[in-house]
Amino acid sequence: MNSSEHDLQSRLNEMEAEIKQNTSDSHDSQNNNKSVFPEVEINPSPQLKSWIDFSREKFDTLPKFGKAAVAIAGVWLGVSIAGALLQVVSSIFTIATIGFVLYLGYRFFNNTEAN
């Protein structure tokens, strides 16, 4: 190894040591904090809170089969809602595309009549 390669290697080792030190310092400071994200406090209305508590108590009294059925129904409902939203978005894009094509046709025929 010539001197320039040796200098580059020593500089690389120094930089690696600095990076390791900086990352270990940042990990230590992150571990000292409880959370990086800000805490958001949500205070539902008393009526909503009582409904949630009532629903949770009813769910806890269900047998395992009932809990599984509720979970499956929840997933099914969620997928159905997502599918409906995707159909609405798809319809909006379809209508926009048809409108754009009609506009282009109007502009094309309007230009040919003017000439």
**pLDDT for position 20:** 85
Cα(73)–Cα(65) distance, integer angstroms = 12
Name, in order, each residue with C-beta under 8 angstroms of 36's C-beta and a sequence gap of 6 or more: 30
Q: What is the residue-level pLDDT of the chain in tens, covering all 115 positions? A: 577 788 888 888 888 888 888 877 665 555 555 567 777 777 778 888 898 899 999 999 999 999 999 999 999 999 999 999 999 999 999 999 999 999 999 998 888 766 6
**pLDDT for position 30:** 54
**pLDDT for position 114:** 65
Cα(82)–Cα(16) distance, integer angstroms = 48
Sign (positive/negative) of CA torsion 8, 9, 14, 20?
positive
DSSP state, residue 63: -
- Tell me the pTM: 0.49
